[in-house]
Chain A
């Protein structure tokens, strides 16, 4: 094949192969992290430190965004449901959308840009300043000492953050619809309780956020660990972390939702 067509086709092929190759590399890297996770659990202080940096420091942004998202859902839902004369169902709308989708997905997206990029930058810079090589010289495996604790810190933090996001959102919806717009408080909670199922809605949401936690943490640590050891390389890796983990979150969400819906009938 020659000419512009051949060139274009080759570019498509190259891109596809490199994307597939990168996904494969992330999965292999995840396997390596799991193999070297022993140290993280023997010295759990390392993981607690990372839970502080990834989880506690993301609390403010998660809580505030959760409150705002819940308030907006309440306002929008009230506006639409009122025209069907069922404004009490707004509680169901807010709770189900937060629990099933928005809680896990939005908090994972926020987590990827707030904590994921920080993890990448930190590990990338450690590599650029040859701290990782220095560790290897001292017979300390950087995968076990640096990467695995950050991975587990992210995996532990994200489900907690997603649950807090959903709880805060429901509180926001309650404030807007019950306190401001005058929906009956009893109907708001009782309709919500009748519609939300513990296994199908709440547990599935937590499972989703757990999967997202694994994906975001694996991508963030991978990009940092594989970043070219230059200033440019680290900045590029940070950007790639945010872009590819956002895409991974949305794609995994589609897959997980499809599987879980099958169970719901």
Chain B
């Protein structure tokens, strides 16, 4: 095989490889969001984050607007400190609120961002004050049982009082 055909084939092979890499990067991966498109970071304190992990999505009205950057425990306030990076093309008022939500019944947990009504917009490093932590199933069940028991208790005492 002569030199020119050999180089042609190798060139074709390398080009094909790079095309496949670009396809993986842009069509399959999410290079556009985490890339140089620009993000700003906001922080929020939650009393409970449930199963929230790094890289979990931040959604507003169901649209992906950013990702959780890091999660750590704040020993000053004794709660969870969550850093989120939001894409710069999305602006939110400073009085926006965040909550830890679950997609579906068994789905992953994500941060839901609800826009507020203030004129001032969130900047890099700002803190979102209005937060709601994750629902913990045990506490919900506990609360429900407690309420039921209380209802049952008041019913019983009322009938007890009514009987004599």
Which A169-183 residues sit within 8 Å CB-CB of chain B?
170
A34 to chain B, nearest CB (A): 23
Tell me how many residues of B have a C-beta within 8 Å of chain A: 31
Q: Are A193 and B24 in contact (CB under 8 A)?
A: no
Q: B31 to chain A: which residues have CB within 8 Å? A: 198
- Check A198/B34 contact, CB under 8 A, given A56-B9, A160-B17, A265-B53: yes
**A164 in the interface (beta carbon within 8 A):** yes
Q: A56 to chain B: which residues have CB within 8 Å? A: 9-10, 12-13
Q: Which of A196, A201, A206 has the most CB of B within 10 A?
A: A196
Which B31-53 residues sit within 8 Å CB-CB of chain A?
31, 34-35, 53
- Check A55/B20 contact, CB under 8 A, given A99-B28, A196-B28, A198-B35: no
- Check A48/B10 contact, CB under 8 A, given A95-B28, A163-B20, A163-B21: yes
Closest to B53 in A: A265
**B112 in the interface (beta carbon within 8 A):** no
Q: Are B20 and A167 in contact (CB under 8 A)?
A: yes
Q: Are B29 and A198 in contact (CB under 8 A)?
A: yes
Q: Are A167 and B64 in contact (CB under 8 A)?
A: no
Q: B1 to chain A: which residues have CB within 8 Å? A: 52
The CA-CA distance from A168 to B9 in the complex, in Å, is: 19
**A59 in the interface (beta carbon within 8 A):** yes
Q: Are B9 and A52 in contact (CB under 8 A)?
A: yes
Q: A160 to chain B: which residues have CB within 8 Å? A: 13-14, 16-18, 20
The CA-CA distance from A48 to B1 in the complex, in Å, is: 13
- Check A164/B16 contact, CB under 8 A, given A56-B10, A265-B53: yes
**A147 in the interface (beta carbon within 8 A):** no
The CA-CA distance from A59 to B20 in the complex, in Å, is: 13
Q: A8 to chain B: which residues have CB within 8 Å? A: none
Q: A55 to chain B: which residues have CB within 8 Å? A: 10, 13
Closest to B20 in A: A167
Q: Are A166 and B24 in contact (CB under 8 A)?
A: yes
The CA-CA distance from A48 to B21 in the complex, in Å, is: 20
Q: Are B55 and A198 in contact (CB under 8 A)?
A: no
Q: Give the 6 A-B residue pairs with the shortest CB-CB distance, closest first.
A: A160-B17, A167-B20, A198-B29, A198-B31, A163-B20, A56-B13
Other A-B contacts than A55-B10, A59-B16, 14 sampled, CB-CB below 8 A, are A51-B13, A159-B17, A161-B17, A164-B16, A164-B17, A167-B24, A192-B28, A193-B27, A196-B28, A200-B55, A202-B21, A202-B24, A202-B28, A202-B29
A-B pairs with beta carbons under 8 Å apart, 29 shown = A45-B3, A48-B6, A49-B6, A51-B13, A52-B6, A56-B10, A59-B13, A99-B28, A157-B13, A159-B17, A160-B13, A160-B17, A161-B17, A163-B20, A163-B21, A167-B24, A168-B20, A192-B28, A193-B27, A193-B30, A194-B57, A196-B28, A198-B30, A198-B34, A198-B35, A200-B55, A201-B29, A202-B21, A206-B21
